[in-house]
Amino acid sequence: MLLVLAIVVLFPFFALLLASFKPSTELLRYGLNLKLQAHLMSFKNYIYLFQDGAKYLTWYKNSLIITAVGTVLSLLFSSMVGYALAVYDFKGRNATFILVLAVMMIPTEILMLPLYKLMVSFKMINTYWGVIVPTMVAPIAIFFFRQYALGLPRELLDAARIDGCSEFRIFFSIMVPLMKPAFGAMAILQAMGYWNSFLWPTVVLRTEDMFTLPIGLSGLLTPYGNNYDILISGSLLTILPIIILFMFFQRYFISGLTVGGVKG
Amino acid sequence: MENKLDYSIQAVSRKQKKNRIIFSQKVAPYIFVSPFILSFLIFFLYPSISTIIMSFQEVLPGETKFVGIENYKKLFNPHFYAALRNTTIYTIWTLIILIPLPLILAVILNSRAVPGRNFFRSAYFIPALTSTIVVGIVFRLIFGELESAPANTLLKLLGLPAQQWTMHWGTGMFLMVFLASWKWLGVNILYFLSGLQNIPKELYESAEMDGAGVFRKFFYITLPLLKPVVIYVLTISIFGGFRMYEESFVFWQNQSPGDIGLTLVGYIYKEGFMNNDMGFGSAIGIVLLIIVFVINIIQLKITGAFGKEG
């Protein structure tokens, strides 16, 4: 049963891989068939992606920039907030935590119209910042970092204070390294979110040369299903980086989720 | 020379004093949480208030005027009903599939007797990593209209007629639910697995000594102790369901036949950006907000999160 399910789960990836080597005329006429037709298969679809005038590489670059900058900033800010909520006793701590939970509980899609107007007045429409800024303090990540930081050893904090470390030194040079597994898990989650996000970037990014991969590829989808040559190979290359990232951080990811994920 | 050194020492100590205040235990936590507070005020509170106001306005480029509850009156139309119905039914289906199935799989994967546990965990998780848009492209091919498309070939093998998947309400709903189930199965398995690992083994051992079988152990130990995780997964699944958009977009963009793929978020997008009716779009958003809020309260009440166990 496990194996059958694994085959079902992995089947679309296999189909994608197979189709990416076949000419699109074949796909249009006969649909996707799973025969290995060696005489028809070639790298042509991949070559299309890198031709002059193809926007695919531009989209790839845009996706990479937004994902890298967005992930780094959201890890920095969310870990700071989560750490403070876990470690310090300060006036307004509980109120802040309740606000974090409240934001977590409301689908932000509801706010996309006023957010769009706000971005227009900030002149951030059609910029990378327009995609990143409203999403870079992620409540879910804050929550996760807080859960994780609750388990940090307080003795280290006190010892460092006696040594005269500032609170920021303590955070960046002592606590951040201790929270490595949490950073690993959240790095995957946040990178995944930015790499795959669709609705908000669609709202913000207006011109073809600013599109990210999901927007660019979705623009090639038409009711008639043409463009399959670029779509299929382009899709496959879109999946790759995130899978590589996952393989790289996988160990942290699963252990990190176990510690902080679901105790709330 | 000496004076200069003196001066610079003074400057350093002045700087240190300033640093000591900013970096002190009193002030530091506020600086740490300031990114959230700023982002909350600018990107959450302000838009929330402004969407409430906009829902009572007619918003045209350059001018807005109050129209009272006109936007809310407009909600009584077949498109809105279709969006509400599709979103609700979709959410219910994802709950029916995405809670019991991953739970059972997690229990199986948690037992040491299963070979290749780590392989299966990763394999089931990989779909969650991929963009719904990208995955939808493959699903469109698999569920293509031609009789030779893989899904229709399978139906033929089972002796069933070929389907035009994206043309009918039932098959359309199936496509969206199937895509979502396929994508999120592995994530929910991981959540349940992490919960299972926190259950003390001794409980099972003593139950075994009392002669409890697999089913009794599951219903009397596993399920009750997993309750917090189940509640968590239930909560995020309801959210996921009501904010659904991409699963519909990949099959129909924004124009499904007879609204079979219209969702509430899709409807906001359509009215707000395609028809330029931001006031009406905001009204839809407010209704969606109320729905999610009410469901949350009900769910928290029923599952007892307001009680002592919370």
Q: Write down the pLDDT at residue B176.
A: 96
pLDDT at A17 over 70: yes
Could B40 and A199 be called an inter-chain contact, meaning their C-beta atoms sit closer than 8 Å? Answer: no
CB contacts, 8 Å: A167 with chain B: 23-25, 28
pLDDT at A76 over 80: yes
- How far apart CA A157 and CA A171 sit, in angstroms, is 9
Q: Write down the pLDDT at residue B308.
A: 41
The minimal CB distance from B131 to the residues A88, A107, A196 is found for A196
pTM strictly above 0.90:
no
Of the candidate ranges A26-30, A75-79, A187-191, B206-210, the one whose mean pLDDT is the lowest: A26-30
Separation in Å, CA of B25 to nearest CA in chain A: 7
CB contacts, 8 Å: B228 with chain A: 262-263
Q: Write down the pLDDT at residue B4.
A: 56
Residue B9: Cβ-neighbour burial (10 angstroms; 0-12, 13-18, 19+): exposed
CA nearest B253: which of A241, A223, A1? A223
Residue to mutate among B20, B103, B137, B274, with most A CBs inside 10 A, is B137
Could A111 and B44 be called an inter-chain contact, meaning their C-beta atoms sit closer than 8 Å? Answer: yes
Question: How far is residue B308 from each of residues A195, A197, B304, measured CA to CA in Å?
Answer: 40, 38, 8
Question: How far is residue A212 from each of residues B126, B244, B249, measured CA to CA in Å?
Answer: 21, 20, 16
Mean pLDDT, residues A60-76 taken together: 96
Q: Which domains does chain B have, with CATH numbers?
A: 2-54 (no CATH), 70-302 (1.10.3720.10)
Q: Write down the pLDDT at residue B14.
A: 62
Give the burial string for B223-262 (b: 16+ CB within 10 Å, else e): eeebebbbbbbebbbbbbbbbbbbbbbbbbeeebeebbbb
Q: Write down the pLDDT at residue B305.
A: 57
pLDDT, greater one: B101 or A50: B101
Contact call for residues B25 and A165 (beta carbons, < 8 A) = no
- Complex ipTM: 0.87
The model's confidence at residue A264, banded by pLDDT at 50, 70 and 90, is very low
Q: Write down the pLDDT at residue B5.
A: 56
Per-residue pLDDT of chain B (310 residues; tens, 9 = 90+): 455 555 555 555 666 666 666 667 788 899 999 999 999 999 999 999 999 999 999 988 778 889 889 999 999 999 999 999 999 999 999 999 999 999 999 999 888 778 888 888 888 988 988 999 988 888 988 888 887 788 888 888 898 888 888 889 999 999 999 999 999 998 899 889 888 888 888 888 888 888 888 888 888 888 888 888 888 888 888 888 999 999 999 999 888 899 999 999 999 999 999 999 999 999 999 999 999 889 888 887 887 655 443 3
Could A214 and B133 be called an inter-chain contact, meaning their C-beta atoms sit closer than 8 Å? Answer: yes
Q: Write down the pLDDT at residue A152.
A: 86
pLDDT at A25 over 80: no
Helices of type H across A88-227:
93-104, 112-121, 128-132, 139-149, 154-162, 167-169, 176-178, 180-196, 199-204, 213-220
| Mean pLDDT score of chain A | 86
Could A5 and B121 be called an inter-chain contact, meaning their C-beta atoms sit closer than 8 Å? Answer: no
Give residue A246's identity as a one-letter amino acid code: F
CB contacts, 8 Å: B289 with chain A: 106-107, 110
